[in-house]
Structure 1
Amino acid sequence: MAVQVEIWTDINCPFCYLGKRRFEEALEAFAHRDDVRVVHKSFELDPTLPRAHSAAVVPHIAEKYGISEAQAAANERGIGAQAEAAGLTYQTSGRDFGNSFDMHRLLHFALAQGRQEALLDALYAANFAEDAPLFGDAERLVQVAVGAGFEETAVRGVLDDPDAYAEAVRADEAEAAALGARGVPFFVIDRKYGVSGAQPPEVFAQALEQAWSDHAPKLVTLAGSAEAEACGPDGCAVPERN
C-alpha cells in the first residue's frame, strides 16, 4: 500500500522552493513516510519567454504586479525571511528569471534515471541560494547538472536535442490544466486531494494522514444484543446449566 504525491513546480517559483521544504518536514514526521511515493512534475510560469531569456527578478516583479521596485525588493526580503525560518538559503537580490523548459526536460531525464530529486534540489539551490545567474545559459545548466552527479555527455545530449523529453513536459502541463492548477506549487495526493501553495507543514501532514486513512479505513463495529456471548481477557463465561 502506497500513497502517491505529485508536485507540480517551476524553478522560477520561490514558493515551490519553500513549499518543497515544508512538505518534506511534514513527510519526515509522517509515520508511513516509507510508503509515500513522490513525483515532481513540470509547470512553466511563463512558457512564452524565449529560450535564452534572462532578466533581473525585482524589476520583473514590479512590472508584473504594478508595484514599485522598492516594494518588489521588500517582497523578496519577506520571502527570504520565510525561507530562512525553514532552514533554506535565499538570495534576496541579484537573482534572475527566465525560460525553464530545458530545466524541466532535464528533470524528466533525471526521473528516468531515478534521481529526479537530486537535480531538482540542485536547480533550486542554483537559483535561490547561489549568486551566479541560472537562466539563459546552457553551460551554467550543464554545470549544475554535473555538480548534482549527472554525466556531462548525457546532459549535453538532452540539451542539444530540443525534442528530448519535450512531450513529457507538455504532458505534465496538460495534466495540471486538466486538474485545475492555475499556479504552483500544486500538490496532488492519490489523485483525490489537492493542496495549493507553500502551505504550513501541518496542512501537508493532515493531507497525508487523510490519504493514508483512505487506504486503511477504520473498522465500523455493528452493535448487536448486549447479552451476546463473547470471550475476554479473563476467559470465556460458561453458560449456566438448568
Structure 2
Amino acid sequence: MRVEIWSDIACPWCYVGKARFEKALDAFPHRDGVEVVHRSFELDPGLAKGDIQPVLTMLSKKYGMSEAQAQAGEENLGAQAAAEGLAYRTRDRDNGNTFDMHRLLHLAKDKGRQDELIQLFYRANFAEEQSVFGNDERLVELAVSAGLDADEVRGVLADPDAYADAVRADEREAAELGANGVPFFVLDRKFGVSGAQPVEAFAQALTQAWGERPAPLKVVQSEAGAGAEVCGPDGCAVPQQSQ
C-alpha cells in the first residue's frame, strides 16, 4: 500500500502531522507493506526566493493579527509539537521560499533518501537556530547529512530547472485531488486524510485502506495440470516426446 503525503517545509502542522502519522504507522501490523512518498506543496508559491522575514511578521501581515496574537499561536504550536516529542522554536524563526527544498526532496527520492531529508529540513526549520532560507550551503549540509552527494546537491541548486517540473506536477496533482491545504495524506488513491489528525485517526485510516486492497490472485493447481509447461525468463519448456 502506498501513502502519499503532500506537505511544505514551512508548514508547522505538516511537521506535527508527520510525527502523528508515523506513530500510527509504527504500530500498524502491516508496516512493512506500506510505502510512504512525500509530495510537494508550497504554501506561498509566489514568494520570491530572497523574501525572507520573521515568522511573526509574516503571520501578522498574512492574517491581520497582532504580533502578540501570532506569538500566542506559536506557543500553542510549540505545545502541540512537544506533545509529539518534537523540538519547536516558538521565537526568532524565519519564513521564506521553499521551492529549492522541494527540488532537493525530489533528488532525495531518486536516491532513496527522501524521508531522511524531509525530517532534517523540518527539524532545521522548526527547531534549530540557523535559518534554512537564503543559504544554499545550509541546504547542502543538511542534504549531505541525509546521505546525498554534495556535488549533486550543488548541481541541482545551481540549475533552477532541475526537478522544477516534478515539483509543479505534484502541486497540480494536489489541486486535482482537491487538496487546498497541507498536510494532506492519500492512502492507495482511495482515502484522503486532511490535516494533522490524532494518531487514532491515522490508525483507523490505515486499517480501512489496507482492508480494501484487492485480494491477491490465487493460483489454482490441480493434479491433472501438474507440471504444465510454461514460458519464463529462461525460455519455454520443450515438450518431451512420450515413449
TM-score by length of 1: 0.87
- Distance in 2, Cα, partners of 1:81 & 1:97: 20
Contact map agreement 2:113 2:146 (CA 8 A) in 1: no
The one of 59, 62, 66 equivalent to 2:60 is: 62
Match of 1:35? 33
The one of 41, 49, 52 equivalent to 1:51 is: 49
Instruction: Please say which structure displays the higher CA radius of gyration.
Output: 1
- 1:118-197 matches, cutoff 5 A: 118-197=116-195
Number of aligned positions between the proteins: 215
- 1:68-107 matches, cutoff 5 A: 68-107=66-105
Contact map agreement 1:89 1:128 (CA 8 A) in 2: yes
- Give how far 1:6 is off: 0.4
Contact map agreement 2:113 2:148 (CA 8 A) in 1: no
The one-letter amino acid paired with 2:139 is L
The one-letter amino acid paired with 1:182 is N
Match of 1:4? 2
- Distance in 2, Cα, partners of 1:47 & 1:102: 11
- Distance in 2, Cα, partners of 1:38 & 1:185: 14
- Give how far 1:132 is off: 1.1
- Distance in 2, Cα, partners of 1:48 & 1:136: 16
- Distance in 2, Cα, partners of 1:152 & 1:100: 19
Match of 1:109? 107
- Distance in 1, Cα, partners of 2:45 & 2:151: 27
Contact map agreement 1:122 1:144 (CA 8 A) in 2: yes
More displaced 10-residue stretch of structure 1: 148-157 or 161-170? 148-157
Tell me, what secondary structure is at the counterpart of 2:46? coil
- Distance in 2, Cα, partners of 1:212 & 1:150: 33
TM-score by length of 2: 0.87
Gaps of 5+ in 2: 216-243
The one-letter amino acid paired with 1:121 is Q
Aligned-residue Cα RMSD (Å) equals 1.0
Gaps of 5+ in 1: 218-242
- Distance in 2, Cα, partners of 1:216 & 1:87: 36
Contact map agreement 1:6 1:40 (CA 8 A) in 2: yes
- Give how far 1:216 is off: 6.2
